[in-house]
């Protein structure tokens, strides 16, 4: 093989997974209010939190606002990240009854978390997590052995429906890269003045064999936008403040 080609490939790989530079920086406020995960958004802190856009088309053709639109809010406390996600989706599609079968091709919310904001590759390791949260509450990610696993104790979720509008509430507990599947582990206790890598996305499918759109919360440069499940360097940086 040409040595020049090898060098270019190595340099490209290094650039892709180089140490993360903070971008799309979001200051997220702490809350001490009791949070009930019920999809009803009755907590007072939600009315005090700004909406953030879920509008970056990572996969698929342009879509109408009736087909999909999304926005979200974030707060935190020692237990984890609290999310409020509002999605307008005209067709809710769940073609695979087995949660571990092609889970990304069903409608679902996907939460990407890098607990120490280190960035870098996480395709088959726990440097970061890509939690696919299904409408039935199951949470799926790929484990280091390259098989899908349940991570239901990492994310609690509930949603309510009004017409084509779905309101989700989620509590996401954070684990660092020492997490080992099958071993007992405690979630991190979050503190102010720390940074967390984060992205949110929605898999939208109106009845096709594969998902029709994948819409994210952060701009991804270049032609290949579908990098979140591999590269944590594309995540936003959350700054946890009091």
Q: Has residue 22 been placed in a domain?
A: no
Q: Has residue 179 been placed in a domain?
A: yes
Q: Has residue 26 been placed in a domain?
A: no
Average pLDDT over residues 105-110: 94
CA 169 to CA 104: how far, in whole Å?
20
| H or E element in which residue 172 lies | strand 165-172
Question: Which residue has tokens 């429906």?
Answer: 161
pTM recorded for the entire structure: 0.91
Query: Which pLDDT score is estimated for 229?
Result: 96
Tokens representing 131 are 């939690």
DSSP state at residue 231: B
Cβ neighbours for 9, distance < 8 A, ≥ 6 positions apart: none
pLDDT of 127 higher than 70: yes
Structure confidence at residue 77 as a pLDDT band (50, 70, 90): very high
Distances (CA, A) of 57 to 119, 133, 143, 221: 21, 19, 26, 12
pLDDT of 87 higher than 50: yes
CA 112 to CA 142: how far, in whole Å?
12
Query: Which pLDDT score is estimated for 17?
Result: 55
Q: Has residue 20 been placed in a domain?
A: no
CA 241 to CA 137: how far, in whole Å?
29
Q: Has residue 118 been placed in a domain?
A: yes
Query: Which pLDDT score is estimated for 4?
Result: 40
Q: Has residue 188 been placed in a domain?
A: yes
Question: Cβ distance 219 to 56 under 8 Å?
Answer: yes
CA 187 to CA 126: how far, in whole Å?
13
Question: Cβ distance 113 to 68 under 8 Å?
Answer: no
CA 190 to CA 181: how far, in whole Å?
21
pLDDT of 181 higher than 60: yes
Assign residue 145 the CATH number of its domain: 2.60.40.1190
Q: Has residue 112 been placed in a domain?
A: yes
Q: Which domain holds residue 187?
A: 35-241
Q: Has residue 52 been placed in a domain?
A: yes
Note the pLDDT tens digit of each residue in 143-161. 999 999 999 999 999 999 9
Question: Which residue has tokens 């594309």?
Answer: 234
Ordered alpha helix ranges (H), the chain: 3-16, 44-47
Query: Which pLDDT score is estimated for 92?
Result: 87
Ordered alpha helix ranges (H), 111-155: none
pLDDT of 176 higher than 60: yes
CA 132 to CA 145: how far, in whole Å?
18
Mean pLDDT, the chain, whole residue set? 92
Query: Which pLDDT score is estimated for 110?
Result: 98
Q: How many domains does the chain have?
A: 1
Question: Which residue has tokens 């995960």?
Answer: 37
Three-state SS at 9: helix
* Among 22, 77, 37, 44, CA closest to 159: 37
Query: Which pLDDT score is estimated for 235?
Result: 98
Average pLDDT over residues 220-236: 96
Average pLDDT over residues 40-49: 97
């Amino acid at each position: 093989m040409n040595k020049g080609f090898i060098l270019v490939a190595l340099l490209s790989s290094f650039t892709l997974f180089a140490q993360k530079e903070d971008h799309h920086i979001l200051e997220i406020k702490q809350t001490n209010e009791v949070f009930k995960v019920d999809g009803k958004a009755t907590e007072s802190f939600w009315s005090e939190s700004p909406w953030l856009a879920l509008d970056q088309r990572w996969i698929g053709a342009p879509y109408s606002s009736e087909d999909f639109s999304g926005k979200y809010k974030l707060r935190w406390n020692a237990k984890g990240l609290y999310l409020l996600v509002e999605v307008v989706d005209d067709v809710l599609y769940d073609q695979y009854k087995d949660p571990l079968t092609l889970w990304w091709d069903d409608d679902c919310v996907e939460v990407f978390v890098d607990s120490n904001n280190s960035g870098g590759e996480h395709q088959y390791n726990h440097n970061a997590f890509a939690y696919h949260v299904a409408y039935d509450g199951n949470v799926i990610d790929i484990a280091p052995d390259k098989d899908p696993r349940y991570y239901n104790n990492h994310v609690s979720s509930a949603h309510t429906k009004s017409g084509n509008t779905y309101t989700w509430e989620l509590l996401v507990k954070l684990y660092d890269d020492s997490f080992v599947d099958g071993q007992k582990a405690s979630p991190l206790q979050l503190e102010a003045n720390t940074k967390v890598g984060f992205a949110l996305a929605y898999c939208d499918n109106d009845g096709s064999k594969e998902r029709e759109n994948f819409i994210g919360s952060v701009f991804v440069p270049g032609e290949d936008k579908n990098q979140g499940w591999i590269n944590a360097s594309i995540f936003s940086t959350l700054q946890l403040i009091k």
